[in-house]
Amino acid sequence: MKKNKKFIISGILLLLIGVTIGLVISSKFDFQTKGFSEDYQISKESQELLSKIGNAMAEVIQAVRPSVVNIYTTKKIKRQGIPFPFNDPFFRRFFDDEFGGLFNRPKEFTQTALGSGVIVDPSGYILTNYHVIKGADEIKVKLYDKKVFDGTLVGYDAKTDIAVIKIKSNGLRAIKWGDSDKLKVGETVIAIGNPYGLNLTVTRGIVSATGRANVGIADYEDFIQTDAAINPGNSGGPLVNVSGELVGINTAIFSTTGGYQGIGFAIPSNMAKVVMDSLIKNKKVIRGWLGVTVQDLDTEMAKASGLKEIKGAVVTDIQDGSPAEKAGLMRKDIIISFNGKEVEDAAHLRNLVVSTPPGKTVNMEIIRGGKRYTITATIGELGAEQMVSESESVLAGIYVEDLTSKIRSQLHIPKKINGVIISSIDPDSPADGLLMRGDVIMEINNEKINSVKDFVRVSKKVKNDAIIWFFRDGRVLYITLKVGQ
C-alpha cells in the first residue's frame, strides 16, 4: 500500500514538472515569435518603393505588348522514299501497290516553327530574325488582339540575321525606337516574346555587356549581352529599355543544355534599323566599304605606339583602288576612331564601316609612327549582293563579289576567266552543296556575267531553272539549278 502511494506521489510530481517545463518553453517560443514578427515587419516606405517599381515595370510592358507579334511558319520538305530492296518488276509492283508507294517515291512533309517579331511601322512592317522565317513557304502573324494575318517577306539579311516581313493592316501600334549606342552595362532591360509558344512572356534583366563579337551566330556581330531570360521562341522579339524603347532584337542564347543559362544575345536596334531601312528601300542591303584588312591590337603593339589602352584596329593590308588607298591609309596604321566613335577592335571597326552609307565622308583618327593623324575617307559600296527579295529564285542565297586582280592572284584564276566570285552561300539556298565559296560564275542561262551588276540583273529574271557555267580548281564546269530540287 505504501509503495502504491509513493508511485502515485512520484507520478504527480513528474506531471507537475512536465507542465512547468512546457509552460516555460511555450512562453519562450511565444516571446521569440513575437520578437521575430516585431523585428522584421516590412516598412511602409519599402512597400511603397517596391510597389512603385512594380507599377513602373507594368506600365512599360503594357505600352510595349501591343507591338509584339507571334510568327508561325510552315515549310514543305521533300524526302526520298525507302530504297526498294529488289529489282524484280513483280516485287516492285506488288510492294508499291501494297504499301501505298512507300518505296522509292519521294515523301513530302510539313515542318512548322514559331518565333516572335515586333511592329516597327503602323503600315504593317515587322522586324524579326532571319532564322525565324528561313526557308518558310508560309508565314502567319498573330497580333496582340488575336487577329491573324498572312505575312509577306520583304527581304532578309543572313549576315546579320535580320528579316523584314509585312502584313496588310493599318493603324498598328508601332514600337518606339531607342538608341542602342547609349546602352550602359548594368542598365535594366526587358525581353518580350513567345518562348515555347507561351504568348507574350516577359523577362527582366540587365545589360551584361555590349559590342559582343566573334560569337559565331552571324557574319556581322555587335551583340548586346543580357541575363534577361531568352529561350526558343523569343527569337525576333524586342529587347526594350525602361522607357519602352526598342534597343535590341532578341536573337540567341549561349547554352550547353539548350535552355536558359543566363547569357542571351540581342542585335542592337541601331544595326537592325540600318539593315531594315535598306531592305525596305533598296530590296537589298547596301553596305559601306573601306577596303582594308585589319587585325586586333595587342599589348606589344599598343605599348610601342604609346597607347595606354588596348583599343583599335591595325591595318594589315589595303586593296588597290579602295577608299582606304585614296585616303592615304598605310599598312601598320592603327585606326583608333571612326566617324567620331572610338574603335574597340577589328570586328567593331568592320561593323562601323559596313553600317556607313556609301558616299559618306568620314574622319578617322590613326596612330602612325607613334603620332596621331586625322585622315578623311569617302566610303564606297561593298560588292553588291544577291537581291534578297528574290527569295523564290533558284539563285537566292548566293552572295558574290567582283573578280579583282588581287583575288585572281590569290586564287590563281587565269586571265581568260571572267565572272564574279562566290563569297558565301546560305545553308537553305538551292545552290548549297552544288556551288561553293570561291567558285567563279561565268554565265547564267547563256548570259555572260562580268560583274556583280550583271549577276544582280540576271538573278532578277531567273525564276525557274538556271544553267550555270563556272570555274573551279582549274576547270570550267556547269550545273543546272532547279526549283524545288
The set of catalytic residues is 131, 161, 235
Give me the residue label for grid cell 605599348.
Answer: 303
Q: Which helix (H) or strand (E) holds 37?
A: helix 2-39
Provide the CA 471 distance to its chain's centre, in angstroms: 33
Query: Measuring CA to CA, how many Å separate 179 from each of 41, 192, 211, 234?
Result: 42, 18, 14, 21
Give me the phi and psi of 294, to 5 degrees please. -130, 160
Contact residues for 285 (Cβ-Cβ < 8 A; gap 6+)? 155, 157, 159, 160, 275, 278, 279, 385, 388
**The C-alpha cell of 206 is what?**
540587365
Residue position matching grid coordinates 566599304: 289
How open is the CA angle 413-416-419, to the nearest 5 degrees?
70
The DSSP symbol for 103 reads: B
Backbone angles phi and psi of 213, in degrees to 5: -130, 175
How many Cβ atoms sit within 10 Å of the Cβ of residue 330?
13
Please give the grid coordinates belonging to residue 375: 585622315
C-alpha cell at 451: 560583274
Total H helices, total E strands in the chain: 10, 28
Which helix (H) or strand (E) covers residue 381, if one does? strand 380-381
How far is C-alpha 370 from the geometric centre of its chain's CA atoms? Answer: 38
β-partners of residue 71 are 115, 141
